[in-house]
């Protein structure tokens, strides 16, 4: 289903209201009397609806300390049909508790934002006319070292970014790692609750597979831990998308030792350099490689040796070991690539983290603390899973589609190893043994306007159609963290049967259990969004 753009909701009340709320909450205390509250509400009443006023009053009376609020900070590259009426920036867990209680009491929806990288921007905007507020967790990003039996663990508040997490690990335990995504500005709140994979997925599994405990605020406004929320809810938030169930405050994560020296390569090949034959060989073996060796394929347009640009494939690898051991593995598994010492970059784990975070020349790890995503191009993505290797003719067709676009980008990530050892129903993330590769089709464009967008989106739908015969079927699976509203959205009544269309693509058979957990913990569907899990009552 294509995403529709409803008319924008009148936003005239927002600036004045948030300004007044801000001054209200920063200049008053919880000992406010009834008379001062009535003064406040009468000063707001010219601009705000009674629902908004009641919410503000509730917040004022419920929260032990003021909750900062500002105007929305939206991702400019994404369309934003309906804006929030407030953006709250909690500083404490109490603030989150108070917000849930008051929003529920006054029929306001909540969108929780951690890193703000949702592909459909669901953490900031809504396609529904129902008024909502955004809870931006950026101030809740403390990271503390903990221990779990003999393993190192960390409590990481949900507003932290992956970069902040990696910075903390490198600071406290230099030769250790957490298996999660590459982009340092992605937030741990959304990323981990949707699965989360990166270069260590074959060695240690998903980010969600490495969660030991969590603190949440549930739909009743209670702070719960793993023990008090129960195993069903704890299961659901590790891959099922926590936004359907609760607000995650903090994750307890298992941190793993990695070698001091690792080896990286980026080998580029064009069509003339037998790229298709090499990708074909790679896709026969990459999911079966030793789990210390991760090789993925990137397809994009890069500057060509002869001038101009050419579609180029990059074999990008992280090996947890030194060059000589990697050379042995490459000779055994992939001699056709002719990997040699001149391709290899041996480096410390610290340098490798910086390299894959996009800071290959950085000398200080402090660059990982930059929370701002600088990519403001138009953007569209879709995903697939391969359950068997692609034949050469399919790869040739993929290459031809790439040739048609200015900024096409396809990433093919191998699974296998640890991620495939975990049973399909152990977490809601079902893409385990048998899901050999995740494919992500990404398109970025510079121009603005609906026509420009349509032209580029048609390309990605065409490519998606081309790939149909080669990828998983019944369902044609997709990865929740690469959220795709084309797959379907909750209708007005948000029923389970309707939602199965997209829900089973993300979760396969786990969708039913997710819907039953939803009925157990949030039967009134307070935590609703366009792709939230609907409640299924027994
Ligand atoms: C540039 C870029 C690179 C990426 N790289 C990778 C990658 O390498 N591997 C990978 O697996 N994915 C990757 N992703 C996808 C990414 O994992 C998802 O977009 C993820 O959901 C982003 O989390 P966030 O907290 O930044 O986003 P947000 O937009 O803040 O949140 C995403 C969703 O989670 C919900 N949510 C956020 N925080 C909470 C919380 N505390 N409690 C409950 N619900 C919450 C939101 O409401 C929303 O529904 C990438 C995305 C981008 C834009």
Distances (CA, A) of 66 to 29, 61, 173, 260: 8, 10, 36, 46
Tokens, residue 65: 């300390």
Which tens digits make up the pLDDT trace of 451-461? 888 888 899 99
φ, ψ (nearest 5 deg) of residue 60: -60, -40
Identify the CA nearest to 195 among candidates 474, 440, 522. 440
Identify the CA nearest to 318 among candidates 177, 524, 436, 422. 177
Identify the CA nearest to 247 among candidates 293, 203, 210, 214. 214
3-class DSSP state of 348: strand
Q: Which of 119, 157, 191 to mutate to test the pocket of ligand 1 (most atoms within 8 A of CB)?
A: 191
3-class DSSP state of 263: strand
pLDDT over 90 percentage in the chain: 78
| Predicted pLDDT at 72 | 47
Distance in Å, CA 404 to ligand 1 centroid:
30
Question: Residue 49 burial (CB < 10 Å; 0-12/13-18/19+)?
Answer: middle
Strand 143-148, strand 151-157: pairing:
antiparallel
3-class DSSP state of 219: coil
Residue 158 CA, closest ligand 1 atom number: 41
Identify the CA nearest to 32 among candidates 54, 1, 6, 64. 64
Give the DSSP per-residue string, 353-390: HHHHTT-TT-SSGGGGG-------SEEEEEEEEESSPP
Pocket-forming residues, ligand 1, beta carbon under 6 Å: 111-119, 122-123, 137, 158, 181-183, 186-187, 189-191, 193-198, 242-243, 247-248, 481
Residue whose CA is closest, atom 34 of ligand 1?
190
User: Taking the CA of residue 214 as centre, how many other CA atoms within 13 Å lie in the half-sphere pointing to its CB?
Assistant: 28
CB–CB of 130/10 below 8 Å?
no
- Residue 11: pLDDT band (50, 70, 90) is very low
Which tens digits make up the pLDDT trace of 258-284? 999 999 999 999 999 999 999 999 999
Residue 375 CA, closest ligand 1 atom number: 1
Rounded CA separation 156/163 (Å): 12
Which tens digits make up the pLDDT trace of 27-61? 333 323 333 344 334 444 445 678 888 998 999 99
Rounded CA separation 249/224 (Å): 10
Rounded CA separation 484/300 (Å): 21
Distances (CA, A) of 64 to 96, 246, 398: 11, 21, 57
Q: Is the pLDDT of residue 107 over 60?
A: yes
| Predicted pLDDT at 14 | 35
Strands (E), 433-485: 437-445
Domain residue limits, the chain: 14-138, 143-257, 261-470
Query: Is the ipTM, as predicted for this complex, more than 0.95?
Result: yes
- Number of Cβ within a 10 Å radius of residue 295: 25
Identify the CA nearest to 17 among candidates 53, 66, 51. 53
Distance in Å, CA 384 to ligand 1 centroid:
18
Which tens digits make up the pLDDT trace of 435-447? 999 999 999 888 7
Distance in Å, CA 187 to ligand 1 centroid:
6
Distance in Å, CA 20 to ligand 1 centroid:
31
Residue whose CA is closest, atom 7 of ligand 1?
181
Distances (CA, A) of 395 to 287, 424, 476: 17, 28, 19
| Predicted pLDDT at 81 | 65
| Predicted pLDDT at 365 | 97
| Predicted pLDDT at 492 | 65
Identify the CA nearest to 336 among candidates 286, 408, 397. 286
Identify the CATH number of the domain defined by range 261-470: 3.40.462.20
Identify the CA nearest to 85 among candidates 119, 125, 45, 120. 125
Residues in the chain: 538
Distance in Å, CA 192 to ligand 1 centroid:
8
Which residue matches tokens 């603190």? 215
**3-state SS track over 267-291:** EEEEHHHCHHHHHHHHHHHHHHCCC
- Residue 395: pLDDT band (50, 70, 90) is very high
| Predicted pLDDT at 23 | 47
Residue 481 CA, closest ligand 1 atom number: 18
Q: Is the pLDDT of residue 510 over 80?
A: yes
Q: Among 75-89, 137-151, 463-477, 516-530, which stretch is predicted with the lowest mean pLDDT? A: 75-89
Fold for domain 14-138?
Answer: 3.30.43
Residue whose CA is closest, atom 15 of ligand 1?
481
Identify the CA nearest to 200 among candidates 176, 184, 164. 176
| Predicted pLDDT at 379 | 82
Identify the CATH number of the domain defined by range 143-257: 3.30.465.10
Rounded CA separation 131/108 (Å): 6
Instruction: Report the pLDDT averaged over residues 367-373.
Output: 94
Rounded CA separation 473/505 (Å): 9
Instruction: Report the pLDDT averaged over residues 112-141.
Output: 94
| Predicted pLDDT at 7 | 33
Which tens digits make up the pLDDT trace of 208-247? 999 999 999 999 999 999 999 999 999 999 999 999 999 9
């Amino acid at each position: 289903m294509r995403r529709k753009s409803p008319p924008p909701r009148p936003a005239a009340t927002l600036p004045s209201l948030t300004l007044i709320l801000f001054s209200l909450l920063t200049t008053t205390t919880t000992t406010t009397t009834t008379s001062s509250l009535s003064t406040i509400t009468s000063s707001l009443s010219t601009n705000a609806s009674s629902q908004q006023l009641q919410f503000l009053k509730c917040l004022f009376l419920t929260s032990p300390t003021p909750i900062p609020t500002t105007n929305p900070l939206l991702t400019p590259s994404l369309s934003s049909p309906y804006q929030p009426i407030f953006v709250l920036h909690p500083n404490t867990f109490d603030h989150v508790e108070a917000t849930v209680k008051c929003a529920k009491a006054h029929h306001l929806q909540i969108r929780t934002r951690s890193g703000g990288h949702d592909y459909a921007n669901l953490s900031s905007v809504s396609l529904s006319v129902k008024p909502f507020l955004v809870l931006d967790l950026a101030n809740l990003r403390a990271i503390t070292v903990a221990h779990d039996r003999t393993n190192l663990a960390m409590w990481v508040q949900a507003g932290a970014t992956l970069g902040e997490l990696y910075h903390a690990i490198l600071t406290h335990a230099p030769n250790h790692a957490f298996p999660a995504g590459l982009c340092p500005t992605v937030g741990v709140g959304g990323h981990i609750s949707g699965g989360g994979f990166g270069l260590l997925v074959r060695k240690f599994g998903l980010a969600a597979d490495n969660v030991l405990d969590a603190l949440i605020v549930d739909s009743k406004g209670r702070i719960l831990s793993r023990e008090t929320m129960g195993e069903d809810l704890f299961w659901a938030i590790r891959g099922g998308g926590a936004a359907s169930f609760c607000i995650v405050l903090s994750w307890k994560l298992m941190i793993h030792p990695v070698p001091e020296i690792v080896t990286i390569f980026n080998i580029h090949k064009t069509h003339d350099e037998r790229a298709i034959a090499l990708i074909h060989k790679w896709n026969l073996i990459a999911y079966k490689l030793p789990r210390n060796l991760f090789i993925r394929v990137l397809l994009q347009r890069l500057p060509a040796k002869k001038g101009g640009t050419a579609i180029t494939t990059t074999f990008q690898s992280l090996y947890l070991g030194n060059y000589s051991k990697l050379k042995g593995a490459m000779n055994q598994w992939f001699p056709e690539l002719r990997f040699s010492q001149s391709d290899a970059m041996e480096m410390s784990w610290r340098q490798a983290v910086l390299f894959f975070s996009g800071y290959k020349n950085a000398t200080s790890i402090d660059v990982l603390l930059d929370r701002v995503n600088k990519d403001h191009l138009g953007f569209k993505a879709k995903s697939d899973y391969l359950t068997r290797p692609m034949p050469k003719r399919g790869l040739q067709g993929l290459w031809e589609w790439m040739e048609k676009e200015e900024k096409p980008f396809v990433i093919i990530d191998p699974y296998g190893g640890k991620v495939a050892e975990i049973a399909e129903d152990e977490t809601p993330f079902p893409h385990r043994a048998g899901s050999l590769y995740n494919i992500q089709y990404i398109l970025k464009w510079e121009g603005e306007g609906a026509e420009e967008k349509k032209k580029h989106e048609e390309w990605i739908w065409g490519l998606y159609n081309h790939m149909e015969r080669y990828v998983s079927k019944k369902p044609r699976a997709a990865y929740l963290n690469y959220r795709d509203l084309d797959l379907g959205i909750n209708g007005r009544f948000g029923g389970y049967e309707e939602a199965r269309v997209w829900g089973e693509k993300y979760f396969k058979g786990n969708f039913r259990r997710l819907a039953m957990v939803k009925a157990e913990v949030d039967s009134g569907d307070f935590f609703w969004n366009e792709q939230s899990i609907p409640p299924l009552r027994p």
